């Protein structure tokens, strides 16, 4: 889900790609077209080697942690990027040990 604010002050929700700031979209409450003034940031983790992909809202750290867990568990490469800017991404690759991974919390580990 993508959330945007309109010039009239109402919220606009979209299930597909969010409109850009300055685009005109239809406000159902005003019954007229309004300009988009704010667009939420959504992070996504997408695996390069399988069809794993999740949206994590505006929490990049959580997207990096979950992507790192998937990468380490299955030895896959995972891209973490903003859903509205897929051209800028971070790659998590467990095959390259010189890369640093975000720390995994103690709750995710198996207690012994």
Q: For 31-54, what is each residue's pLDDT tens digit?
A: 999 999 988 788 899 999 999 999
Domain that residue 75 falls in: 43-108
Cβ–Cβ under 8 Å, residues 101 and 61: no
**Total structural domains within the chain:** 2
Extended beta strands in the chain, E state: 2-6, 11-14, 24-27, 32-39, 43-47, 53-55, 78-82, 85-92
Q: Is the dihedral of CA 22, 23, 28, 33 positive or negative?
A: positive
| Mean pLDDT computed over 92-101 | 68
32 shares its domain with 7: yes
Instruction: Give residue 31's pLDDT.
Output: 94
65 shares its domain with 101: yes
Q: Of the segments 14-23, 39-48, 72-81, 90-99, which one has the largest average pLDDT value?
A: 72-81
Has this prediction a pTM greater than 0.75?
A: no
What is the band of 58 on the pLDDT scale with cuts at 50, 70, 90? confident
Residue for token pair 């720390």? 103
């Amino acid at each position: 889900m993508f959330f945007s604010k309109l010039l009239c002050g109402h919220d606009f929700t979209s299930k597909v790609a969010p409109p850009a700031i300055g685009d005109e979209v239809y406000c159902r409450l005003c019954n007229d077209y309004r300009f988009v003034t704010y667009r939420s940031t959504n992070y996504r983790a997408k695996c390069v080697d399988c069809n794993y992909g999740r949206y994590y809202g505006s929490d990049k750290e959580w997207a990096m942690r979950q992507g790192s867990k998937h990468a380490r568990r299955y030895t896959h490469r995972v891209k973490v990027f903003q859903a509205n800017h897929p051209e800028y991404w971070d790659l998590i690759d467990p095959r390259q040990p010189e890369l640093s991974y975000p720390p995994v919390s103690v709750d995710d580990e198996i207690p012994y």
